[in-house]
Structure 1
Amino acid sequence: MTRTWFSQSLETVAVWWRIERCDGVALGFTSHDRDLVFAGLQHRTAPGMVPSAVRRTATFEADSAEVTGALSHDAIGETDLSAGRYDGARVSMGLVDWETLETESLFTGTIGSVGREGEQFSAELQSIKHMLTRQVVPRTSPTCRAEFCGEGCTLSAAHVTHEAVIAEVSSDRQWVRLSTLASPERFEFGWLRMVDGPVAGITMRIEAADEGWLVLDRPMASDTAAGVRVVLREGCDHTLSTCSSRFGNALNFQGEPFLPGNDLLTRYPASQ
C-alpha cells in the first residue's frame, strides 16, 4: 500500500537527495538533523542545502527543480564545482521517514547548469523528460554530425589517444604546454583529461593550439603544476576535407557538404 505523506498534523519526514557523478562518486544528503543510511548510501545531514519546489507535469513538458546551498559543505566544494565534477551528474530527490526509513522518489534527472553567488551555489536540475526535446530526425549540415570516434564516425579512439606530461602552465592557467607531444595542432577540438593532481579525472576541451600551447575551455585548478600526467584525444573540425585527407574516413562522413543552403534563395541572377 502506498503511503500518503503529510496526512497527519505531525510527520517524521525529511527531504533527501542523491547525486551520482559521472566519475562514479555517489553522494547523499538529507534535511534531517542527523545522518540517515538507506538504499545502500549514507545521506549526510546538510541543513544549508535547500531544495526548491518540484514541479511535475502530466504532459511532455519537462519537470523542473533546483537545489541551493552553501559552498562550505565538506562534500561539495568550490573547487569541484568549478572543475566540472558535477556537470551532467544524475540526481534523485524525494522524501524519507527518519524513523522507519521509508522513502519515496519525487524527482529524477541530471544537473544542467551550476551557478554561484558569493558563498552560495545553485544547481538547475533537468528531468528525464528533458531528453524528449532532442532532435529525433537529424538536420542537414555541411559539417559532420557524428561525435569524433563515436557512433557513425567508426574511427578507433585508440589510434588518436595519447599520453603526455604537463611541462608548463600559463599565468591564467588556461594555456598549457606538454612535453613529448608532437604536432599540437592535431589536438584542436579534442580533449584533455588529468591523470594526476587535484583534478584527476576531469576532462577539458581543447579550443585551439598556438605555437606549441594548447588553449583549454576553462582554467585549470590553481595547484595544477608541471609534472602532472594527462591523456589527450586528437580533435576533428568535422569538415569533409579533414575527414578525407587526415583520417581517410570520408565514406562515413555524416554531413551534406555539397547540399545548397538557404543562401541560394537570396542570390541575384547573374547576367551572361
Structure 2
Amino acid sequence: MAGIDAALRAHLEGGLTTVCHAWAILRTDGVRFGFTDHDLPLAFEGISFRADTGLSALALAQSTGLSVDNTEAVGALSDTSIREDEIEQGRFDGAEVIAWLVNWADPEQRWLQFRGTIGEVRRAGASFRAELRGLTEALNRPMGRVYQKPCTAVLGDRNCGFDLTAAGYAADLPVEAAEDARIFTWGDLSGFDDAWFTGGRFEVLDGPARGLWGIIKRDRFKDGVRSVELWEPVRGPVTVGTLVRLIAGCDKRVETCRLKFNNFINFQGFPDVPGEDWVMSVPKSTGRNAGGSLR
C-alpha cells in the first residue's frame, strides 16, 4: 500500500478499523457524482458521497510499470443517481473516476486507490457495468501524423486554427421540424449555400439533450425548405423549439481549405504527395514523369 499516509496506516495496523470505499465520477460536462459503500453519506474534497446508490467496484487490478490498470464498477440505475437515458446519451463516456479507501470516522484519513476514466458501459435491465481504465491507458493511443493528401486536422482544433465563431460559418436557430431526432428542416435558412453544412456538426444548445452533437450527413435546399440530415439520431429528445447550432462542414480537401475557409496556411495534409501510379512509373522518351496517372 505505497503512498498511504501515516495516520491511516496506523489505523489499519490497529486491528479494529472503520474504513469504507468511496468513488467520485467527474463527467466532461462538469456534473459530479459521489458514491460510497458505507451505510451513511460522506463528504470530503467538496464532494458529497451518497450511501444509497448501490454502486460498488470490483477488485482493483493494479500493477507497477506501464501495464494498464483496470477494474469494473457495477451499480443500479435510478432517477436520483445514474440514469438510463444519460448512459444511452454517452454522458458518462470518458468521465474521470477516482476511488479512495476512507476511514469513515475521520474522512481526512484516506488513500487514493485508483484514478482513471470510464471506458465501455454495458447495461443489463436495471443495472449497469462500467469498465474503468487506468491512467496508463492513454499510452495505448497511436501517436504521430498520417502521410496523406487530405487534411488530418479537425475543423477548429489547435492544428487547424480556424475560428468557428467567424461570421458565416455557424448558425444558432430553433428547430422548426424534426423527424426521428435525425432529420431537421427549416423554412428559411438564407445566407448559406446548398450543402454548406454537409460534414459539419449539429450541436444541441438547450433542453434535455443539451451538450449532445452529431455529424451532418446531408444538407439540402429544395422547394424552399432547408433539410439537414445526420448520420445517426441524436441520443436525446430534440423537439420543435430546441435551440441548435449548425457548423460548416469540411471535406479535408486542399481546395475547400483554401476557397471555403481561407485557411490554407494551416492545411495539415500533403496535397502534392505522389499517387500510387508513381510507384509503377517507368522512364519514357515522350511526355513528363510528373507523378500523374499512367496512360
Tell me if TM exceeds 0.5.
yes
Is the aligned partner of 1:185 residue 2:204? no
Change (3 A) 1:17 1:258: same
Question: Normalised by the size of structure 2, how large is the TM-score?
Answer: 0.80
Q: Which residue of 2 aligns with 1:218?
A: 233
CA contact (8 A) 2:196 2:219 kept: no
* Residues matched between the structures, number: 268
* Kept in 2: contact 1:199–1:221 (CA 8 A): yes
Give the direction of change, closer, same or farther, for the CA distance of 1:188–1:13 in structure 2 (3 Å limit).
Answer: farther
Contact in 2 for aligned 1:46/1:73 (Cα 8 Å): no
Instruction: State the distance in 2 between where 1:59 and 1:9 align.
Output: 32
Q: CA deviation at 1:8?
A: 6.1
Q: Does 1:151 align with 2:158?
A: yes
The structure with the largest alpha-carbon Rg is 2
Runs of 4+ in 1 over 4 A off after TM superposition: 5-10, 261-265, 267-272
1:169 aligns with 2:178: yes
Q: 1:92 aligned to 2:98?
A: yes
Residues 224-271 of structure 1 show CA distances to partners (whole Å, capped at 9, x for unaligned) of 310111123222122222212211222211112332467865x59799
SS in 2 for 1:129: helix
Q: Which residue of 1 aligns with 2:33?
A: 27
Whether 1:199 and 2:200 are equivalent positions in the alignment is no
- Structure 1 pair 189/130, CA: closer, same or farther in 2 (3 Å)? farther
Determine the C-alpha separation between the residues in 2 that align with 1:76 and 1:243. Answer: 42
Distance 1:13 1:41 in 2: 18
1:134 and 2:144 are equivalent in the alignment: no
The answer for the alignment partner of 2:241 in structure 1 is: 227
Query: 1:139 deviation in Å?
Result: 2.8
1:80 and 2:86 equivalent? yes
* Length-normalised TM-score, structure 1: 0.86
Query: 1:121-170 CA distances to partner (integer Å, 9 max, x unpaired)?
Result: 22222222222233343232222122211112121121123201111111
Report the secondary structure of 2:215's partner residue. strand
Cα RMSD, aligned residues only: 2.6
Per-residue deviation at 1:187?
2.2
Q: Does 1:48 align with 2:63?
A: no
Aligned-pair identity in percent equals 30
CA distance in structure 2 between the partners assigned to 1:6 and 1:261 by the alignment: 67
Compare 53-62 and 13-22 and name the one that shifted more: 53-62
1:248 is the counterpart of 2:262 = yes
Do 2:35 and 2:53's aligned partners in 1 also have CA atoms closer than 8 Å? no
Q: Which moved more, 1:132-141 or 1:19-28?
A: 132-141
| Aligned mates of 2:104, 2:186 — CA distance in 1 | 52
Unaligned runs of 5+ in 2: 221-226, 285-294
- Native 8 Å contact 1:169 1:176 kept in 2: yes
SS of residue in 2 equivalent to 1:61: coil
Aligned with residue 44 of structure 2, among 38, 45, 62: 38
Partners of 2:257 and 2:115 lie apart in 1 by 39
CA distance in 1, matches of 2:147, 2:270: 6
